[in-house]
Amino acid sequence: MQPPVGDIKSSTVSSLLAPTVALMASSSRLAELFLLWELCGSILLLLHAKYAEGLADDSDWLRRISGNVAPYRTIFVDPSGRLGNFTTIQSAIDSVPSNNRNWVSIYIKKGIYREKVKIPQDKPYIILKGQAKKTTEVVWDDHDNIVQSPTFTSLADNIIAKSISFRNSYNNPVNKKNPMVQAVAARVSGDKNVFHRCGFYGLQDTLWDDQGRHYFKRCTVQGAVDFIFGGGQSIYENCAISVLGGALGPGVTGFITAQGRSNLDEASGFVFKECNVFGSGSALLGRAWRAYARVVFYRSNFTDVVNPRGWDAWNFAGQESQLTFSEYGCYGPGSDTSRRVSWETKLNAATVNQLTSTSFVDSEGWLSSQPL
């Protein structure tokens, strides 16, 4: 139900807007003033209409935006060139000094950005803030090489992305002139990387969760084959896992994950916590990219897009005891485990709690120290 205008207290609005207005008053850049004024208008609309996807708790979002912009250097990107400091995201990133040690917030105006975006290893502490993942999108169509093809690449530590999407448009739709090959939408190779309300769209190898500790919250990941792959140590919480199995053709089964844990001592693994798995066609929950692959789905909703077998050992048939492929407390039409592979891992409650706790990626408390 839409709240009447009178339900939005003027004092609440004033308190939420105060930090932003203060920043406007102190800014020396006319372009920033105009953009911030536009943001104030958007804030009022969000408070009243509550229509924007991904902004269910508007007041919380506003407090974080208004509270976090002022203390950090803020850069504005506007593709039209009228209101921002830069017209491309990459040029904004390039302006951040090497070996940066202070958080830099890059606010990205809604639009489609047709560019490759790369955060190099020597530029940590960058925040990318779009306006919404459905309206702020980075698109490119490179393919074949997983290192060269990503639309977005993060090599640096301490990176945050919010309310923005990354798409590799090469594979879809699949046809003779556009065959299915590796076409990465995003590569995440830095440590302590966080993605909040972001989108990752592709077909094969959509999200290369390469290495490091990562936390994905309320994100959408879409694809058909190995579309979440790599050796990262990651939690995906409240995420939408969208299977495009229908793009593969009749009778062809896809794969959601291809995890790359290569030995027993590695901490890596993918944990899907309270996620929704849905889409078209059929897909297995995962296959083993490396000999000690580890994937856990916890209290997640499975539609019938999940293939009854569940898992595939791939090149490690006969070594299934080394793999950790597990489900715990999942529900929905695709959650029936009676036809799963016989070697699916049955984890005890203590191990499940250890893997699904935020401490799996955050044992030292780095998440709480980031300006989320």
What's the CATH number where 170 sits? Answer: 2.160.20.10
Give a yes or no: residue 122 inside a domain.
yes
| φ, ψ (nearest 5 deg) of residue 350 | -65, -40
| pLDDT tens figures, 181-206 | 999 999 999 999 999 999 999 999 99
Query: The sheet that has 294-298: what strands, in order across it?
Result: 73-77, 104-108, 126-129, 159-162, 193-196, 213-217, 233-237, 269-273, 294-298, 324-328
C-beta of residue 110 within 8 angstroms of C-beta of residue 138: no
Element at 227 (helix H, strand E): strand 225-230
CA 25/CA 102 separation, integer angstroms = 23
pTM of the entire predicted model: 0.82
Give a yes or no: residue 248 inside a domain.
yes
Give a yes or no: residue 61 inside a domain.
no
User: What are the C-alpha distances in Å from 345 to residues 49, 190, 241, 312, 353?
Assistant: 46, 29, 22, 12, 15
**Tally of domains within the chain:** 1
Give a yes or no: residue 37 inside a domain.
no
Give a yes or no: residue 350 inside a domain.
yes
How many secondary structure helices (H) and strands (E) does the chain include?
A: 7, 26
Give a yes or no: residue 18 inside a domain.
no
Active site residues: 205, 226
Give a yes or no: residue 112 inside a domain.
yes
The residue that leads in pLDDT, 57 or 302, is 302
| Domain residue limits at 307 | 99-361
Neighbours of 91 (CB within 10 A): 13
Least confident of 61-70, 217-226, 345-354: 61-70
259 residue type, one letter: Q
How much is the pLDDT for 175? 76
Phi-psi sector, 78: left (phi>0), alpha (psi -120 to 50), beta = beta
How much is the pLDDT for 52? 38
- pLDDT tier for residue 72 given thresholds of 50, 70 and 90: confident
Q: What is the mean pLDDT of residues 310-325?
A: 97
- pLDDT tier for residue 323 given thresholds of 50, 70 and 90: very high
Q: What is the mean pLDDT of residues 269-297?
A: 98
Give a yes or no: residue 12 inside a domain.
no
Q: Give 79's Cβ-side CA count (13 Å radius).
A: 12
